[in-house]
Amino acid sequence: MNFFASHWGSIDGEDVMIYSITTEGGLEVSVSNLGAAMVAMRLLNDENETLNLAYGLLRPSDYLKADYYPGVIVGRYANRIANAKFTIGAEEFELSANEGKNILHGGKIGFSHRVWETVMFEEHNGVCMLEFYLKSPHGDQGFPGNVEVWVIYQITDDNQVSISYRAVTDRPTHLNLTTHGYFNLSGFETDVLDHMLRIDADHYLPVNSELIPTGEIREVNGSPFDFRRFKAVGADIDLVGTCYDHCYVLNNPTIDNPSVALYNPKTHIGLTIYTTQPGIQLYTPMNRPNVANPMIKLPEKGNWAVCMEPQHFPNSPNEGRFPSTLLLPGQEYDHTTILSVTVGGVDE
């Protein structure tokens, strides 16, 4: 395993770094302390070609302009909270609305737009560890409590990328963290409609016109949302509109059970996701990035990526039927997601 750090730029006087790790299995992962983002994931395929499987940007300043959160850690609250407010006890908290009247991915200046402190970058016994730390003060984007967050990447020679999240608070608050990777297992040379997808979920969350869950937990059976067996991403996409943007209720979310598997039958590259989070957001964007990366040429048309974001359910602070996202003093927020990259198949 090879790994090194390099200076990428600066934002408001803070150094922005790139940390590059190359495994014995031919996977190269680049991570930045800006947004604790995974900037690139490149793989040497079985035809000895290097494909970039995850979308990233060229410059730190691009990440501050981008409105689509490429590869970053989003928080304090991943996904949407209706009307940008919630109530804890008798106190109502108004949040930083940034999608109409709602809040998306933490508000106008969420965790994705912060320069995190690098705590550790080292290798032990074939595992490269990279740890970031961020302190979010009380009132940050309207959220209560001083919250401390740690994100730990662990990258192994068998091409697994583990992302662990830990956090504590000094007063009750809501917290929901995820990584917002954009994946295309063709190296972005074609759209993702031919990618084969499996999601271990019997239920999903229907949404309204603002993409806020209605509160119903609906069975996928007999619907275009059924990915319990491998199915092409594009097989039923015309029945849901132009793209998927829905949260699935995972059946058995543990790091020992593959919750999601994505496979490209042309490149023979697979991506399997294990997670301890109760849900996963499936998003297959059609809209082109408002900030482009000339190093990654997107397909001329079609859904250009698959985002699979392990997380708690959207709008949980306002929906009593969903698992709670309330974090109390003395508790620890603790979740892990593992991305496993393979050539020739997917993890079973």
Please report where in the chains the tokens 């929901």 appear, as a residue. Answer: 176
Beta bridge partners of 153: 130, 163
Tokens coding 188: 């972005």
C-alpha torsion 217→220→223→226, nearest 10: 140
Instruction: Measure the CA angle with vertex 77, ends 75 and 79; round to 5°.
Output: 105
* Strands (DSSP E) found in 100-244: 103-104, 117-124, 127-136, 147-156, 160-169, 173-174, 178-179, 196-199, 201-204, 218-219, 231-232
CB-CB contact of 233 with 193 (8 Å): yes
The DSSP symbol for 60 reads H
CA atoms within a 13 Å half-sphere pointing along the CA-CB vector of 169: 23
| Strand 307-311, strand 279-283: pairing | antiparallel
47: left (phi over 0), alpha (psi -120 to 50) or beta: alpha
Residues recognised as catalytic: 180, 309
Helix (H) or strand (E) holding 92: strand 91-94
105: left (phi over 0), alpha (psi -120 to 50) or beta: left
Instruction: Measure the CA angle with vertex 50, ends 46 and 55; round to 5°.
Output: 125
Please confirm whether the linkage preceding 80 is cis (ω < 30° from 0).
Answer: no
List C-alpha distances in Å: 279 to 14, 45, 168.
Answer: 34, 30, 21
CB-CB contact of 312 with 279 (8 Å): yes
Phi, psi of 317 (to 5 degrees): -60, -25
